Amino acid sequence: MITALYNWAKYKAKKDNLLYSPMDFINVIRKLIIGDIEVTGLYSLYEPIAHLYETYPFENPNYQFKIIDKSKKERDVSQEEMKYLMIPKRGLTGKAKQSIGGSIYARTTLKNAVIITGGKYEKVREGKNIIHRVVISKNKLIDFWRQRLLDTYFQSRGEFIGEERICPFCGIKHEFKNLRFNPPINIFVENVTNYNPYLYEEPSHSICPYCAMLFLRTVLEEKGPEKIQFPKAKNAFIYNLPYEPENEYIYEIFNKNKAGEFLKKEIEDMGWRYSEIDALYYLLYLPLFIFRSLPLSLSGRIKPYVYIVFASISKQAEEISNHFVITRFDYLAKVGEMINEEGGVREIYNFKSRLNSFIEKFKKDQVVIGYKLIFRFLGKMLSEGNIDFIFLHSLLRKEINQKKKDNKIPYFTGYKYLNAFLKAKREV
Ligand SMILES: [Zn+2]
């Protein structure tokens, strides 16, 4: 999955017109460390990650910067000067903050930069808020910027240069160590990025600064792999991560918006009202979406993967509890064709209602568990074409019992949806 995340980061960088080569970038990082770096060099290190920092002077009231210029008077920071300060953007996720050293910004790196540039720093409490006040002279702003960039790309107090290594992502040889590295999804990556023996004390990754920068860019939600929420649990969602090393088409076509467009049309053609595509709809609609949108996969010209990851947030930390990989596009296209023949979105809707009634049995704080079970069930269907009948029985049993309690006759809607998976398996 780390390769898929890397490819995603490369795709996003290309979309944003970032045209540096790893070599160019690394040469600038080298200059950054030595200190012999021009403003254009500093800018080329800031630009790719600029979206992680505030761009307007008073956007983040927790930080108050004053500049002293020639007249020796204190004045406010201009918008043009914001790039030197690199104040972490408000509302960054914990992970994003951690990735750029933002979680220790006020505690360590800000003070560090102030000390190095001979500025003034004080922490003031205003009601519940802690305000960080910094005064810095204008002619020290470039030095401040350099220090901020060092603290962003490297872990603080680390040494920057070590023995020569090879980057596992781009293959380039480099000598940097203690780079900050966080992929946008919490996965275990030690065995990919760390060639040191197990329990070796030093946290040294062999990733190069260029590739670290590519990953860094995607820790902000807008640039990261797409998140799709489950309907009744705001803290549960899926990541949708397509992967195709040689063709960008998959990224353009295989996303929530495209699936939403198709689904909207089909739902409105039925005369129903379309609201929004959620994670459950997305998963259930996938075979039909593939059938409608990816004819190329059938001819074998595109051989994509799609990683679907279940994530939930508890106590502000993101937890990844399950994932599956879709590789059988020919099979799913067949399933989609079958669903289409059996009634299309009507059958999807029917099966979705069944799953919804399963979810309704859970208490509010337990709903995530319900979605986890559904995710596992659908994952087996979408990745292997296997229907977990044990789970299905438990799903039905609860429903039958409830109907009996309510004195209603149970009837099984959504059966055709499941049957499409079984029928397609016989044909592919
Ligand atoms: Zn690299």
pLDDT value of residue 196: 42
Write out pLDDT tens, residues 375-421: 999 999 999 999 999 998 888 776 677 777 888 776 677 889 999 99
Q: Ligand 1 centre and the CA of 161: distance in Å? A: 16
Residue 199: band (very low, low, confident or very high) from pLDDT cuts 50, 70, 90: very low
Is 112 or 287 the better-scoring residue by pLDDT? 287
Q: Which of 26-30, 54-58, 186-190, 390-394 has the highest mean pLDDT?
A: 26-30
pLDDT at 336 over 50: yes
86 CA to middle of ligand 1, Å? 24
Per the model's pLDDT, the better-predicted residue between 405 and 266 turns out to be 266
**pLDDT for residue 190:** 46
Q: Considering the entire predicted model, what is its pTM? A: 0.87
Quickly state the pLDDT bin for 24 (edges 50, 70, 90).
very high
Measure the CA–CA gap between 360 and 373, rounded to whole angstroms. Answer: 13
As a whole number of Å, the end-to-end CA separation of the chain is 27
Helix axes 279-293, 367-384, angle to 10 degrees: 20
CA 26 to ligand 1 center in whole angstroms: 9
Angstrom distance (rounded) from CA 416 to CA 338: 9
How much of the chain, in percent, has pLDDT values that exceed 70? 92
Which residue is listed with tokens 């790309």? 153
Does 221 have pLDDT greater than 60? yes
Ligand 1 centre to CA of 142 (Å) is: 27
How long, in residues, is the chain? 428
Distance (Å, rounded) from C-alpha 318 to C-alpha 227? 12
| Torsion angles phi and psi, residue 183, rounded to 5 | -75, 155
If one compares 205 and 287, the residue with the highest pLDDT of the two is 287
Give the per-residue pLDDT at 250.
85
pLDDT tier for residue 195 given thresholds of 50, 70 and 90: very low
Cα of 213 vs centre of ligand 1, distance in Å, is 9
Q: Which of 204-208, 210-214, 240-244, 424-428 has the lowest mean pLDDT?
A: 204-208
What is the pLDDT at residue 293?
Answer: 85
pLDDT tens digits, 105-115: 887 888 888 88
The Å distance, Cα 173 to ligand 1 centre, comes to 8
The rounded Å distance from CA 20 to ligand 1 centre is 12
As residues whose CB is below 5 A from the ion ligand 1, the structure lists: 167, 169-170, 208, 211
Q: How far is the CA of 158 from the centre of ligand 1 (A)?
A: 20
